[in-house]
């Protein structure tokens, strides 16, 4: 339980670290530095533990997972959080399991149960409450438009996480988790390197954004992966999924610590999101079996 709370706290504070880092570093640089520092830590652990990277024949799928699970979300969240508070970004990120479920149903061509459909609707309604809640200070139409654009970018990043999850579940089964995480972070760093070099560079670098990058890389991507896969080896995937419920709560908490303005309606939206996720992940009731009567 302690590891689960620690993991959710690390991932929860990552949204605030992204916003601080994005105040100085261009979005691609945030993604590149986060992937690079995370990969560095995982390479050290990988070599020390004697594990190996996934086989080369899986490179196309590894590339896609690195693109959608790391390169795009890491950069898009930094892009979106230039205009979106970190607490709101954490709530929008909670749409990831919803996108994952919808994509999984589309790929497997199966029908969703009623409670799953209701959970998806309630989850999106909760996000809408948070997105359209009004803070106590007046927001100009231009600022509101910029915020909506940032939310769209963050939602696309969350969709990227979902695409990567579906690919990993169908194409990268039974791989060593540490090797998989090391490979995808390394590939993400490599694909972002030319974009970072060619694109805009940070002008003035201050200690706070640098510290945020280190927290994002070593803790948010490195330590968090190790905690996540260690939890998976001890408890069920359903129990680990509880992290998803805690992230919006941590996002609001860390946003309050950073003195972000949170509208009262947003707190209700977080509760609605968590309720939708819980309903969506509720185990299906077993189908009753008919027992034929036999004569004694």
Cβ atoms of 222 and 33 closer than 8 Å? no
What is the predicted pLDDT for the residue at 293? 45
What is the predicted pLDDT for the residue at 285? 61
What is the predicted pLDDT for the residue at 65? 93
Give this prediction's pTM.
Answer: 0.88
Cβ atoms of 248 and 11 closer than 8 Å? no
What is the predicted pLDDT for the residue at 232? 67
Cβ atoms of 176 and 49 closer than 8 Å? no
The span from the CA of 31 to the CA of 39, in Å, is 12
Q: Is the dihedral of CA 247, 157, 42, 192 positive or negative?
A: negative
What is the predicted pLDDT for the residue at 294? 44
Please list the ranges in the chain whose pLDDT falls under 70: 1, 134-139, 232-233, 235-242, 283-296
Tens-place pLDDT, residues 235-282:
655 566 667 778 888 888 888 888 888 778 888 888 888 888 888 777
């Amino acid at each position: 339980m302690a590891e689960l709370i620690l993991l959710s706290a690390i991932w929860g504070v990552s949204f605030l670290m992204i916003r601080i880092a994005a105040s100085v570093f261009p979005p691609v640089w945030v993604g590149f530095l986060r992937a690079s520092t995370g990969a560095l830590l995982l390479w050290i652990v990988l070599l020390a533990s004697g594990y190996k990277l996934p086989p080369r024949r899986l490179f196309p799928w590894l590339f896609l997972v690195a693109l959608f699970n790391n390169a795009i979300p890491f950069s898009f969240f930094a892009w979106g959080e230039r205009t979106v508070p970190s607490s709101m970004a954490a709530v929008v990120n909670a749409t990831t399991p919803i996108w994952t479920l919808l994509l999984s149903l589309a790929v497997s061509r199966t029908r969703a149960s009623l409670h799953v459909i209701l959970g998806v609707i309630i989850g999106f309604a909760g996000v809408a409450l948070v997105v359209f809640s009004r803070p106590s200070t007046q927001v100009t139409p231009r600022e509101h438009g910029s915020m909506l654009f940032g939310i769209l970018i963050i939602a696309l990043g969350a969709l990227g996480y979902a695409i990567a999850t579906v690919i990993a579940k169908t194409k990268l089964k039974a791989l060593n988790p540490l090797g998989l995480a090391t490979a995808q972070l390394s590939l993400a760093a490599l694909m972002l390197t030319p974009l970072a070099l060619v694109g805009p560079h940070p002008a003035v670098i201050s200690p706070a954004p640098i510290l945020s990058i280190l927290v994002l890389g070593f803790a948010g991507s490195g330590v968090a992966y190790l905690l996540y896969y260690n939890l998976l080896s001890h408890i069920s995937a359903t129990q680990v999924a509880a992290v998803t419920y805690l992230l919006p709560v941590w996002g609001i908490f860390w946003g309050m610590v950073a003195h972000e303005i949170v509208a009262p309606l947003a707190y209700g939206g977080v509760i609605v999101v968590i309720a939708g996720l819980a309903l969506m992940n509720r185990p299906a009731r077993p189908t009753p079996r008919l027992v034929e009567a036999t004569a004694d």
